[in-house]
A and B are shown apart, each in its own frame.
Chain A
Amino acid sequence: MAILTKEEAKKIIDKVLAFSKADEMSVNLTGSRTGNIRYARNTVSTSGESYDLSLSVTAVYGKRSGTSTINEFDDKSLEKTVRRAEEIARLAPENPEYVPMLGPQTYLESNTFLQSTADINPEYRAKVAFDSIDPCRKKNLTAAGYLEDTTDFFAMGNSKGLFGYNKSTSVEFSVTVRSADGTGSGYVSRDFNDAAKLNAKASTEIAMQKAMASVSAKALEPGKYTVILEPTAALDLIQNMMRSIDARNADEGRSFLSKKGGGTRLGEKLFDERVTIYSDPTNIDIPKAGFSLDGRPQEKVTWVDKGVVKNMAYSRFWAQKQGVKAVPPPQGFIMTGGTQSLADLIKGTQKGILVTRLWYIRAVDPQTLLYTGLTRDGTFYIENGQIKYPVKNFRFNESPIIMLNNLEAMGVPARVNGSMIPPLKIRDFTFTSLSDAV
């Protein structure tokens, strides 16, 4: 029952809209099935599964709106929810920034649903845990990991004729492998729409290699180093930057995209000319729904083209006020890279540090997008194109803006947490202190 088809969802939404007496009404219908298994110390710790289905109705009178939610679907309950939303709307204060609902839209189609993931059951999850634990146990290593699979749908419709439906699946797997004496640690994470692409054993073996190779790390002096950020490490910083591309903040003078003297830096070259970042819901590696939660179509948008800022994200209100197209924020992004493998990047490095993962990243200064955080689970010194030895973890203080101006090289992009990101070779990356953590 939790995952409705397009037709089933439309039928319920149309029924709800037929009850409406408001000026405008929109209905969202969502359902999901989520399962997980968690393990640590080479044994399973917790595991569970949950189902959810709920419907939310927003009624609008003029610029007043009200929302009510329910998870019962008989006619009486649906009508009651509509009346509740209408009541709340009548009593609500006017929202001066209200923008009328969108009419019918055309959405791009993408393949976000894979049956292999929807079919996951408790036995599959236990097998993933076993496939990950077993090789570790045999090598006297300790695994702690987590698998979560989700199948869900989202449907929306409104009284102006808009209708959208998307069904999707996702599977996320991560494992940390530690040496028995706790002096070495390695990590791997994988995420797919299609569970058939997940190989827990092979993924765990990568974390095992990192754990064994990072034992007995040496301390290097903090300072500025050339670094190679594996995709998992690179994503965190670039993703934080992509979350700060809101046009309103830029126009209001409180963003890295605000310009001295007023205005924004749209159209300016802010990064190395090899930097191009775009979003595209139809990308086969990271397929996304063709629409945003507010009904706006998700289209292919270039955010940074050859180092130049090309687009910022808008709310519908702010876009209307500024007289521009209301481009919604992206759901995941693609940073184009090069053709080199990670091994090629290492081979081409005289002296540098390979960073496999970053951790506990927090904003220090929103004006310059300065972030601090630490390396974790495998950091290595590179000399003459080879990994020489593991090094102790560093704390960094670095801005992705500065980083993307100090770009040396990029490798082949990989999927990390719903985005595509290449390994990045960066010069003068700032490490400010050492950490004893493993």
Chain B
Amino acid sequence: MKRRDFIQLSSMGLGAMMGASIPVLGNVVPVEQLLEPAVDAAIKKKMADVALNVAKSKGATYTDVRIGRYLQQYLFTRETRVQNIVNAESYGVGIRVIANGTWGFAATSDVSNEGIAKCTETAVAIAKANSKIQTEPVVLAPQKGVGEVTWKTPIKKNAFEVPVQEKIDLLMKVNGEAMKNGAGFVTSNLFFVNEQKYFASSDGSYIDQDIHRIWPTFTVTAVDKQAGKFKSRDAISSPMGMGYEYLDGLASEKIAGPNGLVGYRNSYDMVEDAIMSAKQAKEKMTAKSVMPGKYDLVLDPNHLGLTIHESVGHPTELDRVLGYEANYAGTSFATLDKWKTKSFNYGSKQVNIVADKTQPYTLGTVGYDDEGVPCKEWDLIKDGILVNYQAIRDQVNILGENASHGCCYADNWNSVQFQRMPNVSLRPGKEKLNVQEMIKGVEKGIYIIGRGSYSIDQQRYNFQFGGQLFYEIKNGEIVGMLDDVAYQSNTQEFWNSCVQICDKDDYRTFGSFFDGKGQPSQVSAVSHGSSTTRFNGVNIINTGRKIG
């Protein structure tokens, strides 16, 4: 067993999609324990002050303390039965210091005064030991203390307070409806996360936050044993920074697409999507295999979000640009020299990409990041030009700025915080345009919906993306479903082929609930908003193969 437990998902449907495992951060606990109230802020302030005082006395020039209680509830079902319900809680304190110009970090689940003091001493000792081989002393952007403040995700229904039976009933209904409509197999899942985070720093901040996230999802599979074929369709839900109210399935939040397709904005109808999925999985069995070549692509927000994530989100992370991730995720083609020209055409003029941690209902939105910086919105790409990166307190000086962007995050109290992706979203088009009107203008194209297979190189040039649903467009009309579709492109070429973006009424967010980065690897959750967007002349390959 490694540092963390993982739930293996290889036979639970999500395997191919998520890299086969789901991290569980903490101990398995009875469900009632998840409802126990958060530790009182006054007590946490006292605990934090122990660390701040010890660190100072040991010679630290900066200290931050994160006291965290991380709650997770995950439900896994298949067909008519519950496979697993995980209720997990993790509670402890992480202490980060600068001593001799070098970071040191230590964490402990022993939250007694003695435990915290000892842990703080370890953090300072590690900083001092590593300072001997340090060649780049830390330069920290100033951050004025914000005093004692609180922030809470504005949820309407706390998912942890909803009885487990109600959740099981929903998933059984989802599975039942999928089976009734032609699915051979179905797996469905609910993921709920609550981070109760207390941050204190030697700058004079004491920040108490209560953060909620939700992700309902499923995979429906149709099987034809005679033909030896199977096809799946995953949910087109999005993980959200919301409570259980996301599952209300409000009609007002549905967006009608072409061919009876439905998109979901800030409210999701899981049963309706399951019924559609079963029908579409069956339809995929007889869909025409795509003819490779150049096509104009019409990309649904539930698909485009992942392309934004991989081809804009990751390459504009400043730590990647600088080489801190070189041994794992890689570096970036979006180098500082390109940015400095102020004329690097990342995309066409239509392309405006914004970073934020403030958009309502999104995964990235919090009041303050994990180094006590108030969250904000800023431009990454403006009128097609690369204008900025994602940077935190010890990097932002490299950009000539003196305030952090506020996108530092740690996935647990025992993980050290580092630069993580904020929400990165494509601004909607300014002219009135819906997806039906966009399709009318396409002569030879493919309309793609949903998250499929995805792969991109370590500097974020070359990528290949699949999807859940592919529809062939001929002379402005959808003429049928396609199979074996993937598009390959180069990031700069692709974003420069962007010609049209639907208006704000089509805008929705896509999300990544378990985005991985760092060594040891940490997860984070991030949203990507966009409206349906058209890209011209993109290379499509056929992924069909025959074995034995």
Contacts and interface: CB of A to CB of B under 8 A. Distances in A.
A436 B461 contact: yes
Interface stretch (A19-27, A102-110, A255-263, A333-341): A255-263
Contacts of A67: 28
Among A34, A46, A433, chain B packs the most CB atoms within 10 A around the CB of A46
Interface string A94-131: 01110000000000000000000000001100100110
B459 interface: yes
B453 A364 contact: yes
A123 B132 CA distance: 11
A401 B545 CA distance: 11
Given A360-B455, A436-B462, A69 B27 contact: yes
Interface in B66-118: 81-82, 102-107, 109
Interface in A230-270: 243-244, 246, 248-249, 252-254, 256, 258-262, 265, 268, 270
B375 to A, nearest CB: 24
A249 to B, nearest CB: 6
A365 B545 contact: yes
Nearest to A66: B30
A435 B462 contact: yes
B234 to A, nearest CB: 12
A146 B133 CA distance: 15
B133 A68 contact: no
A49 interface: yes
A191 interface: no
Interface stretch (A4-12, A171-179, A348-356, A382-390): A171-179
Nearest to A123: B129
B328 interface: yes
A126 B132 contact: yes
B287 to A, nearest CB: 13
Contacts of B460: 437
Interface string B1-44: 11100000011000110001000000111100000000000000
Interface residues of B, number: 82
B324 interface: yes
A393 B456 CA distance: 12
Interface string B439-459: 000000000000001111111
B133 A126 contact: yes
A12 B228 CA distance: 51
A88 interface: yes
Contacts of A30: 1
Contact of B28 (A37, A69, A187, A432): A69
B227 interface: yes
Interface string A368-385: 111011101000000000
B541 interface: yes
A326 interface: no
Given A93-B82, A126-B133, A56 B28 contact: yes
Contacts of A87: 30
Contacts of A36: 519-520
A279 interface: no
Given A244-B10, A259-B228, A435-B457, A41 B414 contact: no
Interface string A17-58: 000000000000010101011101111111111101010100
Given A71-B27, A359-B330, 15 more contacts: A40-B323, A47-B129, A52-B3, A70-B27, A130-B133, A133-B133, A144-B323, A148-B520, A254-B184, A359-B458, A372-B464, A393-B462, A395-B457, A399-B545, A433-B464
7 contacts: A37-B130, A41-B324, A71-B109, A88-B30, A93-B82, A174-B327, A368-B545
